[in-house]
Structure 1
Amino acid sequence: MTRLADLAGLPASRVPDPREAPALRWGVVGTGWIAERFVAALQRLTAQRVVAVGSRSTESAREFAGRFGIAHAHGSYEALVGDPEVDVVYVATPHNFHRPHALLALEAGKHVLVEKPVALNAAEAQEIANVAAARGLFCAEALWSLFTPKLDVVRQVLDAGLLGDITAVVADNGEWFDAEHRIQRHDLAGGPLLDLGTYPFSFAHWVLGTPDEVVARGTDAPSGVNGQIATLLAWGENARGVVHTTILANTPVSFVVAGSEATLTIPGVFYRPGPFSVVGTDGRHLAYDEPPIAYDALAYQAAEVARRVTAGETSTPVRPMADSIATMALMDEVRRQIGQVWEAER
């Protein structure tokens, strides 16, 4: 185990410049908020080519294509995945459409990157993984934060054992949303869990793996969807976690990993590019910082996909499908305890 006192500073990121990744031809399923930011990030920071977009209507697809200079606008998702000029499909539709649209792309022979959460539940995620494996195609969840330079440095801190024996993880992601927002809709798998909760639950699982015990309690929003979840997690005899997510209020959106040798703190918004610190039990302080480029950092996940696909690989160690499935299983247990069932599951 490396000790904090032995280091002059934190390690450097190992993430390559996204501009250096070989260019693939991308098709985008969906024209919403995250699709806009994904395409903008690729065009600004990578050599990737977004050549096609698909929507439920030709009008919507053409409007999106016009704004971003995309050559092909398809008025159906079937037409998008059938486009022979597309190498890889980015699925950016609402949560309850991730599974059918990922399968649509895979069955058309396309590699696929699925916006987080990869599916509504672990069974759906496993189905996507099985189809991708059977067809020899790349598939991954677009949990973009894990692909960024900041999280690579965090990964090195954890792998080196700088924190000592980890005893606690505290993760929070809360944001207030008005009654008209899609996150308040039952038919779109609303509530905080899939939108906001994917980050803290994924990060907690990333650090300590699947917990041995889960205790979850929820609160409804006025709209009727779940509004807030507080969860206690236990790993073995010593490690404990608290994960909180809400759409009822603005909260710190921070992430803390505490160990016997040091504590790592990522202030809000923890899943975006920015600073973090490691403070030893002896008071030694090491800090990391980077430009706060926000959602332009979506470029890093696309570059990783391009490198893996070009090398003939079907997964990425940054976010393997097994981890995505395990995170969904954890959130399935949380939902079981608070009594939340998605409409698409009924």
Structure 2
Amino acid sequence: MGDTVRWGILATGGVAERFTTDLLELDGAEVVAVASRTGASATSFAERFGIPRAYGEWAGLFADGDVDVVYVATPHHAHRAAAGLALEAGKAVLCEKAFTLNAREAEELVALSRDRGLFLMEAMWTYCHPLVRRIVELVRDGAIGEVRTVQADFGLAGPFDAGHRLRDPAVGGGALLDLGVYPVSFAQLLLGEPSVVRAHALLSPEGVDLNTGVLLGWESGASALLSCSLVADTPLTASVTGTRGRIDLPRGFFFPERFTLHRHGREPEEFTSTDDPHSFRHEAAEVMRCLRSGATESPLVPLDGSLAVMRTLDAVRDRIGVRYPQEAAVTRG
């Protein structure tokens, strides 16, 4: 891998637009191709961003010899197929969150990447954020003692009508995979995979979760109280409490502009960043760093961690009774 990393963008929605905008600001990043299910969408996207090649089907992107790494920004239900085909074509992959529909699909992708010796990473931008990395360092250094509780929420007021993708089980709709993945990933970043998973939810007539509360527990005695919603504008905050202090993250905890460290017997300390907190540049830079070094996994977003999060999301769906049509088809087969 040379100094320049050549990217292919798969899908042309809002997230792909934001990612590509930030990617083009990175030194050493070049976007050489984009693909969509329609030629018109791919061509329009390419013209907007000055991308030299546009494909109206996935295969063209995967066969493009100039593409080093594919960014997968399709809906959840297509992650397994898209990332799998890219890996089979010999491409490195950055795949949006939630990583897949379920843990089984995630395990298949991880096995494929490891078998081929190819780079694969979930696009959990929170894990690459400088302030979140600083929180991890503080917790590991014992700044707040032993972690005892994590609280986090991500809720939108909507309303989302029955035809919206967030209400469609066929594309992995519901609050959990779109929004709940953030609180769960944040808790597991600090505490690892839980040993206890409990959950309660309000389901839509279509069978996806509209409002979900999750309680996670660990052998250490730590617990996490998490929530996600498509019917309530929640605070979008997070708090980590230990035996000797607490860390509070304000609204937008998953891409924080600041956080406050409270330590027993000391004045609160506020940590801020001059970086754009909403930027995708940090995760893209991590992918490029790994590719240049020959690494096939990122230490910031390890594949085992992504698998653990998917197992927890599966367990939550099991508790609340949410099952996607694709999973039912596998069971019948």
> Do both share a fold (TM > 0.5)?
yes
SS at match of 2:317: helix
Question: 5+ unaligned residues in a row in structure 2: which ranges?
Answer: 329-333
Q: Separation in 2 of the partners of 1:302 and 1:22?
A: 14
Q: Separation in 1 of the partners of 2:206 and 2:133?
A: 39
Give the TM-score taking structure 1 as reference length. 0.91
Aligned to 1:12: none
The amino acid of 1:227's aligned partner reads L
The alignment status of 1:232 with 2:232, answered yes or no, reads no
SS at match of 2:201: strand
Q: CA RMSD in A?
A: 1.5
Q: Separation in 2 of the partners of 1:237 and 1:44?
A: 43
Give the TM-score taking structure 2 as reference length. 0.94
Q: Deviations over 1:240-269 (max 9, x none)?
A: 210111111100011111001110011111
Q: Deviations over 1:99-136 (max 9, x none)?
A: 00000100000000101111111111111011001111
SS at match of 2:262: strand
Higher relative contact order (CA 8 A, sep 6+): 1
Aligned to 1:218: 201
Pairwise mapping of residues 229-268 of structure 1 onto structure 2 (< 5 A)?
Answer: 229-236=212-219, 238-268=221-251
The amino acid of 2:255's aligned partner reads R
Q: Separation in 2 of the partners of 1:25 and 1:78?
A: 17
The alignment status of 1:51 with 2:32, answered yes or no, reads yes
Distance of aligned partners of 1:191 and 1:292 in 2 relative to their CA distance in 1, 3 Å threshold: farther
The alignment status of 1:340 with 2:326, answered yes or no, reads no
Identity across the alignment (%): 39
Tell me the CA shift for residue 22 of structure 1: 3.7
The alignment status of 1:314 with 2:296, answered yes or no, reads yes
Q: Deviations over 1:139-176 (max 9, x none)?
A: 01000111111111112111211110111111111112
Q: Separation in 2 of the partners of 1:275 and 1:187?
A: 37
Aligned to 2:103: 122
The amino acid of 2:101's aligned partner reads L
The amino acid of 1:269's aligned partner reads G
The amino acid of 1:232's aligned partner reads L
SS at match of 1:155: helix
Tell me the CA shift for residue 222 of structure 1: 5.7
Pairwise mapping of residues 1-346 of structure 1 onto structure 2 (< 5 A)?
Answer: 22-177=3-158, 178-179=160-161, 180-221=163-204, 224-236=207-219, 238-291=221-274, 293-295=276-278, 297-346=279-328
Q: Separation in 2 of the partners of 1:187 and 1:176?
A: 22
Q: Deviations over 1:272-306 (max 9, x none)?
A: 140101101224211111247243x2111111111
The amino acid of 1:148's aligned partner reads H
Q: Is the Cα contact below 8 Å between 2:46 and 2:54 reproduced in 1? A: yes
Number of aligned residues: 325
Q: Is the Cα contact below 8 Å between 1:46 and 1:303 reproduced in 2? A: no
Q: Deviations over 1:184-205 (max 9, x none)?
A: 2222111111110110001111
Q: Separation in 2 of the partners of 1:225 and 1:165?
A: 36
Q: Is the Cα contact below 8 Å between 2:249 and 2:256 reproduced in 1? A: no
Q: Deviations over 1:195-234 (max 9, x none)?
A: 1011000111111111121110110236652101101111
Tell me the CA shift for residue 307 of structure 1: 1.0
Q: Separation in 2 of the partners of 1:176 and 1:223?
A: 18
